[in-house]
């Protein structure tokens, strides 16, 4: 990669997909975004890989006409994967069977069988979570639904590595993606889990490559189809939250817990004792980019926020006066409004509001923000990782989020990253891996918001939330 190269970063999230063009020194040059469309069955709710591939190719071609792009780095969420055939150009994005949407309901008979096959907590790296969250459960469903198509398939690829294969034709596994609750990879022992051997899936799982390793050049057929320059280099790529966590570790930080926010609240810390993880909650054993264990805790915070704020919320900032009224009158949103129970076992789908109901959209938004902050603090407390809490991600667009989190954990340091695109910055570090330098990282301390009665409110909420799923 030349010193003047431009890097394209494909960031595939559950809800949205973004394509970035950035210079090697971290300047963001252009961005495009689209919905990650989910289609109904048959055979199940699935992602529109064909349509998304068309968007990626056409958008990337436009970027390449305006910028000297040399490298493409794919990044993806951790709860999906694609069973592929031999040809990335085949209809459906090369998938042997459609990519399961992880929020699709799990058939009850499959759910019962999977629980018996999934192995120990150490094997799985998490408890068995909602719907079709885990790659191993997706594979079992696909295998049982169409044994012939399953037998003809060539590889099972995590989200980022699927797009790496789509670009290059080269299949790979990668530590952070396989370690993101796939239930296929035992992170502490660095081995495939028992379900892989028992079901004969080993043939589908490619050899591991480092996240920063080149897979190969862009496929000729893609270059011809979209008018892309030949010679683009495709990297293996990584799990989105893990690549963002890597950014902080590469800057030399220790003794910290990172909370990334979006559809999910994802807390991660190298200081957490993964052997002591609370298996009754959404505690996780993730992998960093070198395959080493990283403790984690999850809650579906973005989904909770949208369900509480309601359809009338249009992205306005929360009114501090409305937040204070919520606390004063004791209005609480108890989890979980989504079908993920997060840190409160048995609470999935049982979310409710107690106390005086919100009087208007402003109070609903304040209540949703309060829920987001309380879930953030809960994830950090359950994880019990590094002392300093660092916040980043989508929730920081709301100015009151960080001060509210800091106020709910008095006496403990809270900071936030002033870099709104941490995943992209982490991806750029992969592209520059051969010429490493310690990345610049600015952290701003957070001043807690002052709301009378907030500490007591937070304690009452935690007691009520614990009882919600009991």
- Picking from 75, 64, 76, 53, the residue whose alpha carbon sits closest to that of residue 21 is 64
Tens-place pLDDT, residues 29-85: 999 999 999 999 899 999 999 999 999 999 999 999 999 999 999 999 999 999 999
Q: What is the mean pLDDT of residues 121-128?
A: 92
| pLDDT interval class at 437 (50, 70, 90) | low
Check: CB of residue 9 under 8 Å from CB of residue 428.
Answer: yes
Closest-CA residue to 348 (of 361, 359, 335): 335
Residue range 349-385, pLDDT digits in tens: 999 999 999 999 999 999 999 999 999 999 999 999 9
Question: Looking at residues 199-216, what average pLDDT do you find?
Answer: 97
Delineate the domains of the chain, giving CATH numbers in brackets: 7-236 (3.30.420.40), 252-469 (3.30.420.40)
pLDDT band of residue 282 (cuts 50, 70, 90) is confident
* pLDDT at 24 (0 to 100): 85
Give pLDDT, residue 175.
98
CA dist 54 → 34, 51, 58, 222, 226 (Å) = 12, 5, 6, 10, 9
The answer, yes or no, to whether the previous bond of 43 is cis (omega within 30 of 0) is yes
Tell me the pTM. 0.89
pLDDT band at 436 (very low <50, low <70, confident <90, very high): low
Two tokens, residue 327 = 């606390």
- The pLDDT of residue 3 is 60
Q: Using CA atoms, how far apart are residues 470 and 465, in angstroms rounded to an integer?
A: 9
Averaged pLDDT, 381-390? 95
Q: What is the crossing angle of helices 454-468 and 361-383, to 10°?
A: 80
Residues 350, 354, 360, CA angle at the centre, nearest 5°? 105
Q: What is the pLDDT of residues 139-176, one digit of tens each?
A: 999 999 999 999 999 999 999 999 999 999 999 999 99
Arithmetic mean of pLDDT, 273-302? 92
Q: What is the pLDDT of residue 118?
A: 92
Tell me if 169 sits within 8 A of 222, measured CB to CB: no
């Amino acid at each position: 990669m030349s010193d003047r190269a431009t890097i394209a970063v494909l960031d595939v999230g559950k809800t949205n997909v973004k394509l970035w063009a950035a210079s090697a020194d971290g300047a963001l040059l252009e961005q495009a975004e689209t919905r990650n469309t989910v289609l109904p069955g048959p055979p199940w709710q699935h992602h529109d890989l064909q349509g998304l591939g068309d968007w990626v190719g056409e958008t990337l071609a436009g970027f390449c006409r305006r910028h000297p792009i040399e490298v493409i780095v794919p990044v993806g969420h951790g709860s999906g994967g694609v069973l592929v055939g031999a040809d990335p150009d085949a209809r459906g994005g090369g998938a042997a069977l459609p990519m399961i949407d992880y929020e699709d309901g799990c058939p009850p008979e499959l759910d019962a069988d999977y629980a018996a096959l999934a192995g120990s907590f150490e094997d799985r790296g998490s408890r068995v979570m909602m719907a079709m969250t885990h790659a191993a459960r997706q594979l079992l469903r696909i295998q049982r639904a169409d044994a012939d198509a399953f037998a003809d398939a060539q590889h099972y690829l995590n989200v980022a590595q699927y797009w790496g294969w789509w670009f290059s034709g080269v299949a790979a596994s990668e530590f952070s993606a396989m370690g993101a609750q796939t239930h296929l990879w035992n992170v502490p022992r660095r081995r495939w889990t028992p379900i892989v051997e028992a079901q004969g899936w080993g043939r589908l799982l490619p050899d591991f490559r480092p996240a920063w390793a080149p897979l190969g050049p862009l496929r000729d057929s893609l270059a011809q189809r979209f008018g892309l320059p030949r010679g683009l280099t495709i990297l293996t790529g990584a799990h989105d939250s893990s690549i963002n966590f890597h950014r902080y570790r590469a800057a030399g930080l220790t003794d910290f817990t990172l909370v990334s926010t979006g559809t999910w609240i994802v807390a991660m810390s190298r200081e957490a004792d993964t052997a002591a993880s609370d298996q009754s909650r959404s505690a996780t054993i993730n992998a960093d980019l070198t395959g080493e264990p990283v403790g984690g805790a999850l809650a579906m915070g973005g989904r909770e926020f949208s369900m509480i704020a309601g359809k009338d919320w249009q992205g306005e900032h929360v009114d501090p006066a409305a937040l204070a009224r919520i606390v004063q009158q004791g209005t609480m949103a108890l989890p979980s409004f989504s079908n993920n129970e997060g840190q409160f076992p048995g609470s999935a789908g049982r979310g409710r509001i107690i106390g005086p109901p919100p009087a208007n959209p402003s109070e609903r938004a304040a209540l949703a923000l309060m829920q987001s902050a309380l879930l953030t603090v809960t994830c950090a407390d359950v994880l019990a990782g590094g002392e300093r809490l660092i916040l980043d991600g989508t929730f920081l667009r709301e100015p009151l989020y960080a001060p509210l989190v800091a106020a709910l954990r008095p006496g403990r340091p809270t900071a936030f990253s002033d870099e709104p695109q941490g995943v992209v910055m982490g991806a750029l570090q992969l592209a520059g891996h051969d010429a490493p330098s310690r990345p610049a990282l600015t952290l701003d301390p957070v001043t807690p918001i002052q709301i009378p009665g907030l500490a007591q409110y937070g304690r009452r909420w935690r007691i009520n939330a614990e009882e919600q799923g009991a």
